Structure 1
Amino acid sequence: MIKMIIVDDHAMVRSGLRMLLNGTEDMEVVAEASDGDEGIRTALQLKPDVVLMDLSMPQGKDGLTASAELKELLPDTAILILTMHDDDEYLFRAIHAGAAGYVLKNAPHEELLTAIRSIARGDAYLYPTATKRLMKEYVDRMQRGESGDLFHALSEREKEVLSLTAKGYANKEMAEMLVISVKTVETHKSNVMEKLGLKSRPELIKYAMKKGLLNFE
């Protein structure tokens, strides 16, 4: 059973989604929240498999800020952005914030269910035209001769973990310094290695040195 939280400032949207998802045999909405702050608090209490996150919420934290914070706190929870914004800037910012999926609110119900199942099993999901735009962006970058360096795709916490790992700190030490669990440190390290295409600690140290992350001051 995929356990979910819906974060959206419109009560009617939340109600409609709850009816749809609870009517699906492998999904259950365990809670709702009306803004990003409430969404984070609720997720920390219930630790859902998936959070459906709206982007534009006038009260509290917006969806992008809440997604980034939530991913830091609960790296194993998948975030699906569900929004009306069919916009490249929002799309790329959502991905950088740690969202595993991005679906438009006017998408067919079947697409939403497919997206939820995809990210719940650890895959990513973007609506078809968004995938085409991402591919075009990648091709354009390669044609402009830009490197495939994805340092910009790391979250601030992942950059901290990268720097501390390169400096030789153990997982337990980093957990105490950053006030997170050892498991979360390990998850961040794994994400850093995967995003940057690094295979070993020496490669990580060399990369951190190149980026100027070994300053001990």
Structure 2
Amino acid sequence: MRANTIRILLADSQQMFLDGLVAMFSKDPNWQVVATSTDSSKAFFQIVEQVPDIIIMDVELAGRGAFTVAEEVASRFPATKIVFLTGFESDVLVEQALRLDVAGYLLKSDSFTQLVANLRAILQGEKRYSERVFDRLEFDSTQQEFQVKSTTYLSGLTSRQLEVLRHLVRGESVKEVAKAMMLSERAIESHKYRIMQKLGIHDRVELTRFAIREGLTIP
């Protein structure tokens, strides 16, 4: 392995997509995939063990949730670059990624050549977004940062609450969400109550419809 090899961890719900990325990166000795995972909880333990230079993961992952993992990684391993590579491009997800100050939000529709070019720029300290994502942003000169042009009703939720909501609207029970996110059932119930209170919603059917309408999940 070269001394300047970039160590990558890949996390995506689709094993075939992961296999494709591993094959593409393996053609260039400058990149080394140190671990792959289809589950965010497993990915977090791999991150702690490997401490990669770059984490490339989808926003849609089983387990604790990609945003929760990203938040914890940013706190524990600030030198590690976090890049979301996904097919989801709704405002609420992009806004959450910006809030977490990740290094990039890229789309799977981009070419591998574009992905590599963006990763190289990210390693130089730049922030990178796919063109369709960038079109959703505007630069706030006061805050000196990019923001989503259109705020959503979900903007007031925390990263943890968004992850809980995404689990709930998939039809998972409180017990199942607690197990997946490695939290107590009491904590999930508390998050569920606060989410509904913030959104002014009173039942899970309405909550699911709302989440789909806001682009948090797909039908």
Give the TM-score category using the shorter length.
Answer: 0.5 to 0.7
Corresponding letter in the other structure for 2:73? L
Determine the C-alpha separation between the residues in 1 that align with 2:40 and 2:124. Answer: 24
Matched to 1:10, the amino acid is: Q
Larger RCO (CA under 8 A, 6+ residues apart) = 2
TM-score (norm 1): 0.60
Deviations 1:176-209 (A, max 9, x none): xxxxxxxxxxxxxxxxxxxxxxxxxxxxxxxxxx
1:149 is displaced (CA, Å) by 8.3
Match of residue 143 from structure 2 = 148
Q: Which residue does the alignment assign to 1:50?
A: 54
Task: Give the length in aligned residue pairs.
Answer: 143
Question: Which position in structure 1 is the counterpart of 2:9?
Answer: 5
Q: Give the Cα–Cα distance (whole angstroms) in 2 for the partners of residues 121 and 28 of structure 1.
A: 18
Tell me the distance in 2 between the aligned counterparts of 1:149 and 1:111: 26
Consecutive unaligned residues in structure 1, runs of 5 or more: 157-217
**Superposed structure 1 runs of 4+ greater than 4 Å apart:** none
**Could you tell me which residue of structure 1 aligns to residue 126 of structure 2?**
123
User: C-alpha deviations, 1:66-111, integer Å up to 9, x for none?
Assistant: 1111111111000110000122221111121231001111111111
Q: Match of 1:75, SS?
A: coil
Which has more helix, going by share of residues?
Answer: 1
Larger Rg, first or second structure (1 or 2): 1
**Structure 2 unaligned regions, length at least 5:** 148-157, 159-219
1:17 aligns with 2:21: yes
Alpha-carbon RMSD across the aligned residues, in angstroms, is: 2.2
Distance 1:45 1:120 in 2: 21
TM-score of the two chains, using structure 2 as the length reference: 0.60
Q: Report the AA paired with residue 123 of structure 1.
A: E
Counterpart of 2:125, as a letter, is G
User: Does the Cα contact within 8 Å between 1:67 and 1:98 map onto a contact in 2?
Assistant: no
1:62 maps to 2:98: no
Does residue 1:96 correspond to 2:91, yes or no?
A: no
